Amino acid sequence: MPERMNVESFNLDHRTVAAPYIRVADRKTLPAGDVLIKFDVRFTQPNVAHLDSEAVHSLEHLMAEHMRDHTDAVIDVSPMGCRTGFYALLQGEVAPEEFAPVLEATLRDVLAATEVPAANEVQCGWGAHHTLAGAQDAARAFLEARGEWLTVEA
Ligand code: ZN
């Protein structure tokens, strides 16, 4: 392994994780004492499989919108550039066991959705680059592994 790097996930051995999973990727205490928690929400096995670009984009829109229906703690939901998952940044001391039900409820909303929110040229930088069905397939596969989410290592 290379020397220790600044980004937490660069110090994670992506060969030893077992997707799908969720784990705390970072935790930061701000000067006033508030805590930020960053979750690694991994949909596919690193270097083995990845999501289609359109599915990632639509899942980003769907999760960013619907997760906020289940908690006020969400600051950001963003895709990983490798397209194997997402980062979710939350305010407060949120444990994976507490985040998992929020994520589960969010993904059930994704399955029930009839459209991708804000998938248009006014509200998005690439309004045509979306697939509701692709996002729902990925959400369904992730939900089917619900029992494995808190197990990060193989
Ligand atoms: Zn967009």
Domain ranges of the chain: 18-148
Distance from residue 2's CA to the centre of ligand 1 (Å): 35
Calculate how far, in angstroms, residue 118's C-alpha sits from the geometric centre of ligand 1. 7
Q: If you measure from the C-alpha of residue 71 to the centroid of ligand 1, how many angstroms do you get, rounded to a whole number?
A: 22
Average pLDDT over all residues of the chain? 96
pLDDT of amino acid 154: 81
Q: How far is CA 140 from CA 70, 111, 146, in A?
A: 19, 7, 10
Domain range 18-148, CATH class: alpha beta
d(CA 135, CA 116): 9
- Distance in Å, CA 29 to ligand 1 centroid: 30
Distance 125 CA to ligand 1 centre (A): 5
Q: What is the mean pLDDT of residues 39-44?
A: 98
CA angle 101, 105, 109 (to 5 degrees): 165
- The secondary structure element, H or E, covering residue 27 is strand 21-29
pLDDT digits (tens, 9 = 90+) for 53-72: 999 999 999 999 999 999 99
